[in-house]
Structure 1
């Protein structure tokens, strides 16, 4: 009996040592007990504006590591994810454990209202400082904005790979671009953030470009609509188009008609936020999922979903997949990336900014 007891204790100690050795560097010693709780919870609910094509590879990779945790992802508009969580939070209805969305205004409000759990992930030391801009708010992916051209209507010498070149061409070549250039509407949240960041980088010069080229540009619609309009020839070009949408369309053989590039004088990058809700029904599972997304393996899976992983030192797989490191390399270094931040000044300046932007674009 004494031998059996000693053997049992020994096996427990060996198992504990093995679990400790399996933990990534920087993880707390009791993380294995958190994983056990997550497995006991058994499920996880995400509200996101990502399609299954985007988030599916991340869930698949997570389930490979944690097969006992079922993940359900509900697709909805970025603002709707927050509105729905607010409505459900105090009603006792099972609501989201994780929110994933690319909306600066909603994330800023959610942090202020305490809708996001203040949690410091053990992965934080491996991430760039800008990627966790507020307590509990992290970055799921980084979506670069690209310029697209219709190869049939725009000669190669006019397919500029800078914003200065594009906007100058719009002004000097009305026969090619007049009234046939698309972009997001800068008076609304997503387009406003893109344009605000661009102006912050280029200052008065950006306003000069906008005021000269704006009357020939037709803002409106999302990335998919801009691609379709460029494909049909209604548009000759479009800028600030979300690269993940472009890449997914290019996989369908559109490269025969559509050309695209990263602007080398400032590729705007939109960080897609992720956070654990303040009152998750599955807190342990949510915590383990967040750490996984931020890990090297999780960020690789983000790339598999045709999104842009940002963890330093990572290379994305596939011909039409890029990591943020690879985007930076393509534009001549990080200095030529314009990563949108969560500066409250952008929200405070919104009325004045959108009024000036609308005037420049005759809207």
Structure 2
């Protein structure tokens, strides 16, 4: 992890200064030609349609003959892919989603094509942890709070702040249910791995918390005031929380004592029916223009040649600049989580048992 973070810091030093231009990447003519004989791309993802629109506009301008169907399937996409691929049914050519444990399973089954994108050299090593597995984005995790429940002078800027407020907010704090949501489990695991104080803080927060399975539920209940604080809310909510009408109700912050950054995985599938077209889409998503397009509605790009001013919200580098490299916690692909899942979950449940 220290080596990984050293690589991350290299991104941050460019913020606020001129970025060196990276060499323009050219398509492989053979791949482009072969794509013209394929029947379009099927993508299984956990992104809603509005996130895809700018990317597909960019892609279709360059490859107008390739039709892209991008679905939003959540966690069900893995079972669907395995069932379809086992029966030779048309299935995903490309998968874009989170979930470290499921990606590790996918890699171990040999289902990810070890494709070397022409953009590989432009990407930090930590963003491509296995052959063929890339990162589409690096999305931060935030703390959100209702301004009518938590007064401005007590606005939480860290997990420690949430713990200090917890005794006075019984039943008014929510977070992911790590026992029921693999994504939530990975967040708490990462915090425990990189922050020794996790359990002492969770033992203070847990008795006052009402965990939820869905980030959308947490967000909506913070907006309504049912919850005063949403701990570890996905940063894809930043655009909505930044709207003038919502800012009157809700504030948010990157946790100053440790901001989890989630890698949203991206890979070509072994069972792809349109492998060449899928390579072109993957390459587009990893390109500078593709990363900027994907970021238009709130996901976070990470290429070192993208600054905050290039996108409407945040780049990875601008988050590093704001919270400091030492407070970046990469939620990556930790096999120890898979091995120790049951024991960790049991301890988490004990901390979050109402008293």
Mark yes or no: TM-score above 0.5: yes
Alignment of 1:90-129 (within 5 A): 90-129=86-125
CA contact (8 A) 1:300 1:316 kept: no
Deviations 1:39-87 (A, max 9, x none): 332511101111101122211111122222111112212x311111111
CA contact (8 A) 1:56 1:305 kept: no
Who is 1:46 aligned against?
43
Aligned to 1:340, which of 331, 334, 341? 331
Are 1:295 and 2:287 matched, yes or no? yes
> SS of 1:253's equivalent?
helix
In the superposition, the TM-score normalised over structure 1's length comes to 0.87
Aligned to 1:216, which of 194, 208, 213? 208
5+ long unaligned stretches in structure 1: 1-22
CA contact (8 A) 1:100 1:274 kept: yes
Alignment of 1:214-293 (within 5 A): 214-251=206-243, 253-293=245-285
Deviation at 1:224, TM superposition (A): 1.4
Deviation at 1:95, TM superposition (A): 1.1
2:308 & 2:267 partners in 1: Cα distance?
23
> SS of 1:146's equivalent?
strand
Deviations 1:182-209 (A, max 9, x none): 1001113111000000111112x11111
1:35 & 1:202 partners in 2: Cα distance?
47
Higher relative contact order (CA 8 A, sep 6+): 2
CA contact (8 A) 1:148 1:259 kept: yes
Larger Rg belongs to: 1
Deviations 1:318-338 (A, max 9, x none): 88521111111121x222111
1:334 & 1:278 partners in 2: Cα distance?
36
Aligned to 2:344, which of 334, 353, 356? 353
In the superposition, the TM-score normalised over structure 2's length comes to 0.89
2:105 & 2:62 partners in 1: Cα distance?
33
2:309 & 2:84 partners in 1: Cα distance?
38
Aligned to 1:201, which of 194, 202, 217? 194
- C-alpha change, 1:169 and 1:53, in structure 2 (3 Å) is same
Alignment of 1:21-170 (within 5 A): 25=24, 31-41=28-38, 43-77=40-74, 79-170=75-166
Tell me the matched-pair count.
332
- C-alpha change, 1:96 and 1:316, in structure 2 (3 Å) is farther
- C-alpha change, 1:71 and 1:26, in structure 2 (3 Å) is closer
RMSD: 1.9
5+ long unaligned stretches in structure 2: 1-21
